[in-house]
Structure 1
């Protein structure tokens, strides 16, 4: 116990102090079991430590951060440890990497019923599904999703300016007013190139080469989050890697061809669809279905999970419009739905079943009043034209 408290104190005193993530204000901290899900590399551990730093003194006995890869938990149960922690005045346990502790779901429930003054906040992989794995725990735990940095958060980190967030409705229906409010302080388009290259993951703040760090994170996602947590066979790793690579090389606005992919990675169509589902849960891929397709398990298109992945997976310079679509879909994924609008067009998408949008670097064809245009450059003063960077202010 003393060793864990010393580690906790050291981490709080030496960890880099960053911006407060938007999710910190969205969580109802009155719940006794809180899960923080997210894809690998988005900062879940930092989030836990930031919460402890903001609410407890570094040496306070009331809060303790523990990485459950500690060897002591091979002979001591979490339930017994929680009992000792509570007796010593403990209130909040921050538990990282719970998948490394066997039977954690059952012991969480025991802690919940045995120690009514104890709060547990834990991190979980994006691929973990409590509803499927433990329905009882799912009813007593509140689970939230931590995304990577938004463009707004990236700008805040870069220059220290605190910028507001806006709802999708404000962005779509009050564009001029929102743009004026933001550009009084900054011109976000100046940050777009850097964000698209390395802004989504917080480890761009580290001295190591970003692309190598990102490749390591992607491989860890496959080897740990998918093979270990999902209990897939090791021999499938090569096929998963190949599938991701092939999808990253697709031309702009390419429709998903499952049969061709199955042939190229030498497996069945059903297996390809299962792989896509796993990679979607891990936020490596982002499927886009049609609005008139009742079977959403069979997407019409596949995008990478975030624009940074293009920089380490694409053989050639990514098409600018396709990169911007990846950016918009990524920023919308926190609470919004997007689909391909119709079978007659591969350029028209629909957001939340309400807003038909065309996302381009610039308007190449004729202007049509039946849709919104999300553009990087060109005539952004016309009605229903929205600068693409504005979607980086949703969270």
Structure 2
């Protein structure tokens, strides 16, 4: 116990308070079991430590951060440890890497019923689905998703200016008003190129080469989040990596041909469908379905999960319009649904079943009043025309 408290205190002192993530204000911290899901590399560990810095004094015995890859938990039951922690005045356990502790779900429930004064905050992979894996724990826990940096957070981190998050309704229906509010202090378009290349992951702040960090993160996602957590066979890793690379080189505004992909990576059609589902769960891909389809079927289109991945995997085929669509779909992924419209071509999408949108670098065809245009440049003064960067203010 003393060793773990010393480690906790060292981590708290070692790190510096950084940008307060928008999620910190969204969580009801009175809940007794709180899960923080997110893809690898988005800052889940930092989020836990920032919570401890914000809500507890340095060296406070009431709060303890533990990485569950500690060897002592191979012989000590987590539930027994939690009981001793509570008896010593502990109230909040921050548990990282829970998948490395085999019986964590059962022992979380044991803690919930035995120690009503205890709060557990844990991190989990984006591929975790408590509703499927343990419905009882899912009913007890409040699970939130931590995304990578939004454009708003990236700008705030870069220049220290506090900027407001916006609702989708304000962006779509009150564009001129919110543009006036934001433009009065800053021009966010000046940050777009940097954000698209390296702004999504917090480790762009580290001295190590960003592309190497991102490559390591992507491979860890495949090797740990998918192979280990999903219990896939090691021999499948090469096929997963090949599938990702093929999709990164291919124009996304092309219908997903599962049979062709199966031929290219030498596997069955059903296996490709499973791979796409796993990669979408891990936020490596963003599957876009037709408006009339369910998510149990074949996606119409597959994008990479965020624009930074295109710079890593698709340098030669990195089309600007594809990057912008990837950016918009990524920023919408926190609480909004984007689908391919049933009304028109592959270029028309629907947001939340309510807003038909066309996402382009600039408007090159005929303007139509039956849709919204999300553009990076050109005439942005027309009705229903929205600058693409504004979607980076959704969180």
Per the shorter chain, which TM-score range? Answer: over 0.9
The structural deviation recorded for 1:254 is 1.3
Cα separation, 1, equivalents of 2:296 and 2:333: 16
SS in 2 for 1:169: helix
Cα separation, 2, equivalents of 1:93 and 1:281: 27
Q: Does 1:244 align with 2:241?
A: no
Contact 1:360–1:376, Cα closer than 8 Å, also in 2: yes
Alpha-carbon distance change, 315 to 162 in structure 1, aligned in 2, over 3 angstroms: closer
The structural deviation recorded for 1:57 is 1.2
What are the residue-to-residue correspondences of 1:279-318 with 2, within 5 Å? 279-294=279-294, 296-318=296-318
Contact 1:252–1:319, Cα closer than 8 Å, also in 2: no
What are the residue-to-residue correspondences of 1:374-393 with 2, within 5 Å? 374-393=374-393
Q: Deviations over 1:79-117 (max 9, x none)?
A: 111111111110000000000001100000111111110
Contact 2:357–2:371, Cα closer than 8 Å, also in 1: yes
SS in 2 for 1:158: helix
The structural deviation recorded for 1:163 is 0.2
Q: Does 1:108 align with 2:108?
A: yes
Dislocated runs of 4+, deviation >2 Å: 292-297
The structural deviation recorded for 1:16 is 2.8
Alpha-carbon distance change, 353 to 296 in structure 1, aligned in 2, over 3 angstroms: farther
Alpha-carbon distance change, 354 to 64 in structure 1, aligned in 2, over 3 angstroms: same
Contact 2:307–2:323, Cα closer than 8 Å, also in 1: yes
The structural deviation recorded for 1:296 is 4.8
1:216 is matched with which residue?
216
Cα separation, 2, equivalents of 1:319 and 1:142: 39
Cα separation, 2, equivalents of 1:235 and 1:191: 41
Cα separation, 1, equivalents of 2:113 and 2:295: 40
Q: Does 1:85 align with 2:88?
A: no
TM-score w.r.t. the length of structure 1 is: 0.99
SS in 2 for 1:254: coil
What are the residue-to-residue correspondences of 1:121-140 with 2, within 5 Å? 121-140=121-140
**347-356 vs 247-256, which moves further:** 247-256
Contact 1:39–1:282, Cα closer than 8 Å, also in 2: yes
SS in 2 for 1:83: helix
Cα separation, 1, equivalents of 2:310 and 2:200: 12
Alpha-carbon distance change, 317 to 91 in structure 1, aligned in 2, over 3 angstroms: same
Cα separation, 2, equivalents of 1:112 and 1:27: 19
CA RMSD of superposed structures (Å):
0.9
What are the residue-to-residue correspondences of 1:192-341 with 2, within 5 Å? 192-294=192-294, 296-341=296-341
SS in 2 for 1:123: strand
Q: Does 1:144 align with 2:144?
A: yes
Contact 2:17–2:53, Cα closer than 8 Å, also in 1: no
Cα separation, 2, equivalents of 1:50 and 1:204: 18
SS in 2 for 1:271: helix
Contact 2:249–2:317, Cα closer than 8 Å, also in 1: no
TM-score w.r.t. the length of structure 2 is: 0.99
Contact 2:65–2:95, Cα closer than 8 Å, also in 1: yes
Q: Deviations over 1:240-283 (max 9, x none)?
A: 00000000011251110000000000001000000000000000
SS in 2 for 1:367: coil
Contact 1:86–1:118, Cα closer than 8 Å, also in 2: yes
1:41 is matched with which residue?
41
- In structure 2, runs of 5+ residues without a counterpart are none
- In structure 1, runs of 5+ residues without a counterpart are none
SS in 2 for 1:302: strand
Contact 1:83–1:115, Cα closer than 8 Å, also in 2: yes
